[in-house]
Structure 1
Amino acid sequence: MKTDNPTKISILRADERGHAGHGWLDSWHTFSFADYYDPAHMGYHSLRVINEDTIAPGKGFGMHPHSSMEIFTYIISGQLEHEDSMGNGRVIKAGEFQYMSAGEGVMHSELNPSVSEPVHLLQIWITPNQDGGSPRYADMDTNAIKQNNALTLFASGDGKNGSFEMRQHAEIYFGQLETGATLTQDCNDQLPHMWLQMIKGELELDGNILHAGDAVALENSQLALQAKSDSEFLLFQLG
């Protein structure tokens, strides 16, 4: 655990995020995005975007470009159909995790293929450690590797432990805790910044109760959690 710098914990509640309702799309923006601008929330180190989106049946984002961004999608419920200019096409289902490195440029679309059910997801952007490079795509059925009452590594800068290898010195974990379970995670000199994004349930952290949609930033601090109900979250460790 890093101890030579002061510790800091900051909580962002779900209803403090930016909100955009477009009929077919309901979106909550953790950081400034599109028409939502808040100079106090422009990102957190290399973590630039966390959007919690609900997309209506049969709707979505048509082909559009990206470049120089590491893009991750986690499906909370429903399904999302992905197609891109690299020739990839797949329906990503609930509990699955997708990675696309836009590199020097890529086109992709994201559509809800269901005629009756919305899709609920988190879309995450991380700035790469350098621009350019060939676009990349990968996805995994993370349901098969998620661990109860533990952290499961989804992505890292070096691809360790079977995780996606991203173009940034960072790590993304999925956390799953049953009621009453506890979990601790230390920061370190290489990754001293943490961001926890709640997906569902209730967690206690430093005397505070975190609910779905809440987030917390930790600087040079140990993460110590206790689940007040069955909970899921994403944890980012950043350089």
Structure 2
Amino acid sequence: MKFQVYKSDARGGADHGWLNTKHSYSFANYYDPNRIHFGALRVVNDDIISGGMGFGKHPHDNMEIITIPTKGGISHQDSMGTGSIIEAGDIQVMSAGTGVYHSEMNAYEKQEGHFFQIWIIPNKRNVEPRYQQLSIKDVAKTNELYQVLSPNPDDQGVWIHQDAWISLGRYTESTKETYHLKGKNNGIFLMVVEGEIEFEGNKLQRRDVVEIENIEEISFLTSKNTNIMLIEIPMNI
């Protein structure tokens, strides 16, 4: 097993007044040649947007873009004709494929919007753009991991054009968790969203991350009142 811990304050980012953002990988004005991507995982942005503000219409192509709000709601409009509000408790995916324009605005004037945006490099280029949004409240579990994204349209959660899986965990009790990887030669990006976990003798706290390679399964111990996000991602791209 090979792993590397990254503390929350090691992330890049910027405070633009209306947008306070943290980047796990090089993005916008943050560039670190050692932090470009982790396998097919290209972006993990942790964004806070002021009420009524957001990102105007802009283009994407050949990227799987996943949005997971944790507070408030994000208003989405795109060139496919999709218009929706993605609320905390939802997950959204947009396969940009041959190209799409979209905008992302805080849906509420008097409340901050908090969300993760994740970009995953696809295994198919120039696909027809697509949009999918689901509530994950019905599949959410307590004190165990639950899947919210996979490569399979018939599986639980949303799907993308890549052999990647995202699972979330919400722990009210101290719990020993074990995760078995689904893909050979895949790696794990594990973030403590809130609370604390212990992994291989390392204590990880809010927004700390561990990247793990060369394993078939991992185990870690959560503290009470801990939320995590686990991304299984292909390393050979």
TM-score (norm 1): 0.93
1:138 maps to 132
Letter in 1 for 2:201: G
Q: Which amino acid aligns with 1:64?
A: H
Whether the aligned pair in 2 keeps the contact of 1:82 and 1:108 (CA below 8 Å) is yes
Of 148, 165, 181, 1:171 maps to 165
Shift of 1:142: 0.6
Aligned-partner Cα distance in 2 for 1:192–1:186: 11
Matched residue type, 2:54: G
CA contact (8 A) 1:191 1:237 kept: no
Contact 1:153 / 1:161 at 8 angstroms: preserved in 2?
Answer: no
Match of 2:32 in 1: 38
Q: CA deviation at 1:231?
A: 1.3
C-alpha RMSD of matched pairs (Å): 1.3
Q: Distance in 2 between matches of 1:188 and 1:67?
A: 27
Query: What is the match of residue 119 of structure 1?
Result: 113
Aligned residues: 233
8 Å contact from structure 2 (residues 134, 157) kept in 1: no
Aligned-pair CA distance for 1:77: 0.7
Deviation of 1:229 after TM superposition, in Å, equals 2.4
Distance 1:200 1:54 in 2: 15
What displacement does 1:189 show?
5.3
Hey, what does 1:185 align to over in structure 2? 179
Q: Alignment identity in percent?
A: 36
Contact 2:67–2:93 (8 Å) recurs in 1: yes
Contact 2:143 2:173 in 1 (8 A): no
Within the candidate set 225, 229, 234, 1:234 is matched to 229
Pick from 174, 192, 197 the counterpart of residue 198 of structure 1: 192
- Aligned equivalents of 2:98 and 2:80: distance in 1? 12
Secondary structure in 1 matching 2:137: helix
Matched, 1:207 2:213: no
Give SS of 1:15's match.
helix
In the alignment, is the contact (CA less than 8 A) between 1:81 and 1:91 conserved in 2?
yes
Greater CA deviation, 222-231 or 164-173?
222-231
Between stretches 154-163 and 45-54, larger displacement belongs to: 154-163
How far does residue 145 in structure 1 lie from its aligned partner after superposition? 1.0
TM-score by length of 2: 0.94
Q: Residue 161 of structure 1: SS of its match in structure 2?
A: coil
- Aligned residue identity for 1:123: Q
